[in-house]
Chain A
Amino acid sequence: MSMRKSWRHPMRGCASSAARPALMMLAVLFFQISPAIADEAPSARPEYGMAPRLGVTMQPAEIAAWDITIFPNGRGLPPGKGTPTDGRGLFQAQCERCHGVEGRGATAEELVGQPTPPTSADPSKTIGSYWPYATTIFDFIRRNKPPEHSGALSNDEIYALTAYLLAANGIIGPDVTLDAKALAGIKMPNRDGFLRIDAP
């Protein structure tokens, strides 16, 4: 019985005993030709027993390609810059259809609004009134916008859109040039408005 046949008919049992040494040899070959495998010795964890080690070590260049995290202190922000004026046209072309004229809301949510404080009866949760960190704007645009073509905007364009939204919310002036350093330095009005419940 060939291996292929036994695979197609699982009711007949597992691979024939003749096939097993061949499989093991393949596995050995695989390990030998994969120098990037992190550590060949199996690892043990008492509650789960022995586990193979099948991870492939990431080289620094590869990590850089994968890592798109941006932290509130600005770590991870890429080079580039933009101004509210640059961002206005981009917003009209890319965002207004869903977020409304000047970000006042349409089928997608309001981005600019009356800065109703969080204590009012009808508090607004717009960028200016609610968002604790300005870096989040850049990060979210880079991940998700425009949603039909996520990842299509250049870093300069994302800085410009971020600057436009911050200026429209009264956080920065209309002539500010936003780059990594300037963005990380912004203190949002509601920075201290949050209580961590299930986190350190």
Chain B
Amino acid sequence: MTRRWTNEDLQTAAGRGILHRRVLLQAGLGLAVASVISTETKATHEQFPKPPDTPSSPESSPEWMHTPGKPFSNYGIPSKSEDRTIRTIAANRDLPGNGVSWTPLEALEGIITPSSLHFERHHNGVPQIDPARHRLAIHGDVKTPQTFSIDSLLRYPMRSQMLVIECGGNSNAGWHEEPIQRTVGGFHGLVSCSEWTGVPLAILLDQVGVDPKANWVIAEGADAAAMNVSIPLSKLRDEAILALFQNGERIRPENGYPLRLIIPGLEGVVNVKWLRRLHITTQPAMTRNETAKYTELLPSGKARMFTLVMDAKSLITSPSPGQKMHGPNVYEIKGLAWSGRGRIAKVEVSADGGVSWADAQLQDPVLPRCFTRFRSAWNWEGKAAVLKSRATDDTGYVQPERQMLVAERGRNGYFHYNAIVAWGVDEDGAISHVYA
């Protein structure tokens, strides 16, 4: 039986009820910590044949315990009761293949994003590629330009790594004058985390023989936009993966099938999907997606370009806008933190808008450039509160407050918004996005 908490259990670590992270670690002792849920789960109790001699109720003896379940399936799909856990799509109505879909971060747990819910940014739709006809060409300033078939790449040594991919334009509503009222995913969901497996690019670079004077690589996709970007060779030489697998299975078409360039820690656009060509060279091509887009205009009139590394960010996925508190109780504050520069060293949470902070518990594993799940216990007494989280990575970089970021970058940068996010909780338990 669950033990009720005592005053001794509820050791406050920061203002308005943030509890010491020990409270979570004591959960194993049977301390109950409630979770906020967005929707009530209502069981439907259909008539079913009652076991003749046993007293029963719909909960103690549901009908699925009395008839055989469905047979095996070749490929599993989620429960139909979970059909609202989906990506939210925003696309151009004249060109439905140009747009984005957001990962529903608030509906997911742990650190891996299901492949089917990985965010998308396509410039001209998802190409339907025949892997037998797809080739990767590596040419330019190399000794022996070569093409590689997918079948041949599958025979190379591989490496797996759990990594975040975040769009450089993620969270850009944060630059708006007024706080946008959307779910966490609809605001920040252009970020996802997968295990990517493939051939270390270094092996193929060795085999083609890169000219020592080369310092740029232009990567190109096989979509109907032939999307291309220039990347400094130093950013991908040792760490990039030519990924063939995502979360254990071959990459989904919308995530880059059959081949995706994965560069740990760098913004989404350089993780080129449907990779077909790597042009090794000595200068950037100054493509549309590294000049007109994915550059951040500063108040000085100059714009940041080749802002490739994604800085540390964290957000609370629950409680969050669109959810509701269920009366005063102890709640688990939970969220995600990541940094393109390395590991998350610390996440702090606050319930008083940043006046006081307490360390959250970081759930293992804490991996570089990967989602880190953090958790904190909160004794909500039914009073107005402002929840925040603040990430620090192992380079010492601390996620900035919004006013700091805006003071430095202005409001016309559009890309690379990583400020601290604040959720306001009112006395009735309603939750909204606030600037605080």
Task: Give the CA-CA distance A72 to B291 in the complex, in Å.
Answer: 11
Do A72 and B305 touch (CB < 8 A)?
Answer: no
On whether A198 and B235 interact (CB within 8 A), knowing A49-B157, A108-B95, A118-B297, the answer reads yes
Other-chain residue from A48, A52, A107, A144 in contact with B159 (beta carbon distance below 8 A): A48
On whether A63 and B218 interact (CB within 8 A), knowing A43-B203, A135-B286, the answer reads no
Do A147 and B124 touch (CB < 8 A)?
Answer: yes
On whether A98 and B95 interact (CB within 8 A), knowing A43-B207, A132-B291, A150-B224, the answer reads yes
Task: Give the CA-CA distance A150 to B227 in the complex, in Å.
Answer: 12
- Chain B residues with Cβ under 8 A from A195's Cβ? 298, 302-305
Residues A60-97 near B (CB distance < 8 A): 62-63, 66-73, 97
Residues B78-136 near A (CB distance < 8 A): 92-95, 97-98, 123-124
Do B94 and A98 touch (CB < 8 A)?
Answer: yes
The answer to the question of A56 belonging to the interface, with a C-beta cut-off of 8 Å to chain B, is yes
Among A123-131, A156-164, A174-182, the stretch that binds chain B is A123-131
Other-chain residue from A45, A62, A67, A119 in contact with B300 (beta carbon distance below 8 A): A119
Task: Give the CA-CA distance A197 to B95 in the complex, in Å.
Answer: 33
Do A69 and B218 touch (CB < 8 A)?
Answer: yes
Task: Give the CA-CA distance A118 to B299 in the complex, in Å.
Answer: 8
Among B142-150, B187-195, B421-429, the stretch that binds chain A is B142-150
- A111 CB to closest chain B CB, in angstroms? 10
On whether A130 and B286 interact (CB within 8 A), knowing A48-B157, A143-B226, A198-B308, the answer reads no
Other-chain residue from A56, A73, A108, A130 in contact with B147 (beta carbon distance below 8 A): A56
The main secondary structure of chain B at its interface with chain A is mixed
- Chain A residues with Cβ under 8 A from B145's Cβ? 57-58, 63
The main secondary structure of chain A at its interface with chain B is loop
- B221 CB to closest chain A CB, in angstroms? 10
- Nearest B residue to A149 by beta-carbon distance? B224
Task: Give the CA-CA distance A150 to B149 in the complex, in Å.
Answer: 24
- B100 CB to closest chain A CB, in angstroms? 15
On whether A72 and B285 interact (CB within 8 A), knowing A52-B156, A108-B92, A198-B235, the answer reads yes
On whether A55 and B297 interact (CB within 8 A), knowing A69-B285, A140-B287, A195-B303, the answer reads no
On whether A56 and B224 interact (CB within 8 A), knowing A98-B94, A197-B308, the answer reads no
- Chain B residues with Cβ under 8 A from A48's Cβ? 157, 159, 200, 202-203
- B203 CB to closest chain A CB, in angstroms? 5
The answer to the question of A1 belonging to the interface, with a C-beta cut-off of 8 Å to chain B, is no
- Chain A residues with Cβ under 8 A from B285's Cβ? 69-72, 139
Task: Give the CA-CA distance A125 to B291 in the complex, in Å.
Answer: 10
- B406 CB to closest chain A CB, in angstroms? 14
On whether A97 and B94 interact (CB within 8 A), knowing A43-B203, A55-B208, the answer reads yes
Do A39 and B286 touch (CB < 8 A)?
Answer: no
Do B93 and A130 touch (CB < 8 A)?
Answer: no
Do A197 and B146 touch (CB < 8 A)?
Answer: no
The answer to the question of B215 belonging to the interface, with a C-beta cut-off of 8 Å to chain A, is yes
Do B148 and A54 touch (CB < 8 A)?
Answer: yes
- Chain B residues with Cβ under 8 A from A54's Cβ? 148-149, 152-153, 155-156
Other-chain residue from A50, A71, A198 in contact with B283 (beta carbon distance below 8 A): A71
Do B306 and A196 touch (CB < 8 A)?
Answer: yes
- Nearest B residue to A52 by beta-carbon distance? B155
**Listed residue (B147, B218, B281, B304) with the most chain A CB atoms within 10 angstroms of its CB:** B147
Residues B151-184 near A (CB distance < 8 A): 152-153, 155-157, 159
The answer to the question of A21 belonging to the interface, with a C-beta cut-off of 8 Å to chain B, is no
**Listed residue (A38, A108, A150) with the most chain B CB atoms within 10 angstroms of its CB:** A38
Do B224 and A147 touch (CB < 8 A)?
Answer: yes
- B433 CB to closest chain A CB, in angstroms? 24
Task: Give the CA-CA distance A114 to B70 in the complex, in Å.
Answer: 63
- A53 CB to closest chain B CB, in angstroms? 6
What are 20 A-B interface contacts by the 8 Å CB criterion?
A: A38-B207, A55-B146, A55-B147, A58-B145, A58-B146, A72-B285, A72-B286, A73-B283, A107-B95, A118-B297, A119-B299, A119-B300, A139-B285, A150-B124, A150-B225, A195-B302, A195-B303, A197-B304, A198-B309, A199-B284
Chain B positions near chain A (C-beta within 8 angstroms)? 92-95, 97-98, 123-124, 137-139, 144-149, 152-153, 155-157, 159, 200, 202-204, 206-208, 215, 218, 220, 224-228, 232, 234-235, 277, 279, 281, 283-288, 291-292, 295, 297-309, 412
CB-based closest 9 A-B pairs: A55-B146, A54-B152, A199-B306, A119-B301, A118-B301, A143-B226, A198-B308, A58-B145, A140-B288
